[in-house]
Amino acid sequence: MTGPSDTSRPASPPEPKSSSGVLNGAQAHGEPGNSSLPGPDLSPESTLRGIPVSPGIAIGTAHLIARGMPDSPEYCVTPDHLDGERQRFFDAVTLSCQQIQEIRDRLKGGKHNQEMLYILEAHLLILEDNQMRQGPLAHINNQRCNAEWAVKRYLGDIMAVFDRMEDSYLREKKRDIEEVGKRILNNLMGNRFETFSDFPEPVILVAQEFTPSDTLLMDQDKVLGFVTEVGGRTSHTAILAKSLGIPAIVGVKGATSQARTGDRLVVDGLSGKMAINPGLGAIDRFETRRNSFRSYRKQMIQESSEPALTKDGHRVRLKANIEFSHDAKKATLVGADGIGLYRTEHLYMNRTTLPSEEELYQAFLEAGKVMTGGPITIRTIDVGGEKQADAFRLNRDSSGINPALGLQAIRLCLRQEKAVFNTQLRALLRASAKADIRILLPMITGLEELEEALELLAEAKEALVREDIPFDPGIQVGIMVEVPSAALCADQLAPRVDFFNIGTNDLIQFALAVDRMNESVAYLYAPSHPAVLRLIDMTVRAARSHGISVSLCGEMAGDPRFAVLLVGMGLDELSITPNCLPMIRKTIREVEHKKVVELARSVMERNSHESITAQLGEFLNDNLGSDHIFH
């Protein structure tokens, strides 16, 4: 088995040509994905490997995104030229503002309209900040240096201060300031700033990494696919890539050093392979594979009206994970049975003010108007950790040196942001009068925490009754089971809720003590680890014994190998990114329930995640038709 990437282009060993679905790339360390299949053979010197995060095959021209600081000139200026340098700096700042405003205007009416606007507004605020102007001016005046050097010195000073901070929120803000600073520098130097939307022809982007805002700004008509050197399967950027439906691979070591702008590139988002300047034969094989995949996708879409029914008649409800209200339309197009997870964090991110109750109400109602074929499960505020929200900054304490274990999600709502939590609960309750809304509480660790949250919900209901505002008094409430303590206490929690929703992205992280954002320990992130499967099994059994439903909404559910295992373990529902839902439906329709139950029993007796992963791959190979190469 190999690692996630081969960084040495000429030294890469020939790839195995196994036809037995040997797990390669990311799967070698247990990452869920579609890389159980061998792709077209490539010459060793042209292939890099990473973690496939968004299925599909892109063939096109590479465009390398340089995200480092521009190599700017540094020189001293004479006193009689200082006015000119100051004016050049002001002109660059003004031009930067104009560029961002133009992008903002161009994006009006776009699919990520509101979220993009928040990001751009945040960058405008940085540009308008007095410190961002006075800092470089001080260097020009005192050091008598050119404007580029002054900006670079100022940024260096600021970055050093941020690096010394323990507050994770402030460390994250460093990236926004860097991005704005680079824009000013590029404008000083006359460089063109790339926006991912004005390429003359469609390209494949290659970068060290993309921020979530970069991903949001990608024009799907101009970006065929993308590759990054860092990132994991459950990183926010990876999840957004899947949501956009752009073939993508992350964690490709050496991508930016070996690929050049203008290279012919193939991104195989199924196997995790990136081919640089492949030969004509390889191109032909990839084109054949791409055409087959497109036909396969078309067939899957045509089957969207069909239920996820196993060959022997067992029904599985497939719901969709969405980031934004308008994503509900995607869910309906692929025949989702409802929204299994509506993340509300974006309603609070990249803005300096909190959303009003009316704004939240309208957002929830918008999703409800589109998704009429099933319930909409809306997760309450889950900010903190790696998900920082500017709007909370005024009242927020430090997350500590380990943000994932700090004040976030329901903890933040119960300890520090009860008023914000109440506003969201009121909006959810009001929306429940007109739509089939379910409330999902994140990061519950025990009964006391759950009782406290339910008490606040009861108070919100009483207030609406007093105000004669309608809501559904029987609105269902569930919890995310995403920390081991919740799974271990599932039998205590089940009587107090209407449903469980297992969040495996965090459950795996906490159970195995693996930072899922850290690619250096990605090999330990194993969804098939016996400990993870036992926690899931305990949760399912507790739900069963108390007669409540149980769903799973982590990335694990979007992997066909794990999807069949989860159905065999007794999951009622799986919630998946809309783009992956047809693939999972097709997989379920091609297996027998009695066989996946037998598979689950056999798997639970194993004690190695590697042997479990191998068994799941063999099951797919043995039970699916010829199209299994795209599962």
Q: Which candidate, 485, 424, 433, places its Cα nearest to that of 456?
A: 424
CA angle 608, 613, 615 (to 5 degrees): 95
Residue at 208: amino acid letter? Q
Consecutive H or E run containing 80: none
pLDDT > 70? residue 236 = no
Q: Is 580 a catalytic residue?
A: no
* 37 or 92, which is more confident: 92
pLDDT digit string, tens, across residues 260-289? 999 999 999 988 899 999 988 899 999 998
Query: Residue 23: its pLDDT value, please?
Result: 28
Q: pLDDT digits over 504-552, tens only? A: 989 999 999 987 666 677 778 899 999 999 999 999 999 999 999 999 9
Share of the chain above pLDDT 90, in %: 48
Could you tell me which residues are beta bridge partners of residue 206?
A: 64, 227
Of 145, 413, 489, 553, the active-site residue reads: 553
Say whether pTM exceeds 0.75.
no
Residues 52/249, Cβ–Cβ less than 8 Å: yes
Q: pLDDT tens-digit profile of 131-183?
A: 888 999 999 999 999 999 999 999 888 888 777 665 555 555 677 788 788 88
Q: Where are the beta strands (DSSP E) in 471-525?
A: 476-481, 499-502
More confident residue, 191 or 255: 255
User: From edge to edge, which strands make up the β-sheet containing 223-228?
Assistant: 47-49, 273-276, 264-268, 57-64, 203-207, 223-228, 248-250, 51-54
Choose the catalytic residue: 97, 236, 326, 546: 236
| pLDDT (0 to 100) of residue 214 | 67
pLDDT band at 455 (very low <50, low <70, confident <90, very high): very high
* Neighbouring residues of 433: CB distance < 8 A, sequence distance ≥ 6: 470, 471, 472
Between CA 170 and CA 168 the distance in angstroms is 5
Would strands 273-276 and 549-552 be described as parallel, antiparallel, or unpaired? unpaired
pLDDT (tens digit per residue) in 103-142:
777 666 555 555 566 667 778 888 888 888 899 999 999 9
Q: One-letter amino acid identity for 158?
A: I
- Position 464 scores a pLDDT of 98
Own/partner contacts of 87-92, CB < 8 Å, gap of 24 or more, are 88/147, 88/188, 89/136, 89/137, 89/140, 89/147, 89/150, 89/151, 89/184, 89/188, 90/133, 91/187, 92/147, 92/151, 92/184, 92/185, 92/187, 92/188
pLDDT at 428 over 60: yes
> Cα separation of 514 and 500, whole Å?
24
Is 553 assigned a catalytic role?
yes
CA distance 44 to 49: 11
Close Cβ partners of 283 (under 8 Å, ≥ 6 residues apart)? 59, 264, 266
pLDDT value at residue 474: 95
pLDDT for position 203: 93
- Write out pLDDT tens, residues 47-83: 899 888 888 899 999 998 876 677 788 899 999 999 9
Buried b (16+ CB within 10 A) or exposed e, 4-21: bbbbeeeebeebeeeeeb
Q: What is the reported pLDDT for 29?
A: 35
What is the total residue count of the chain? 631
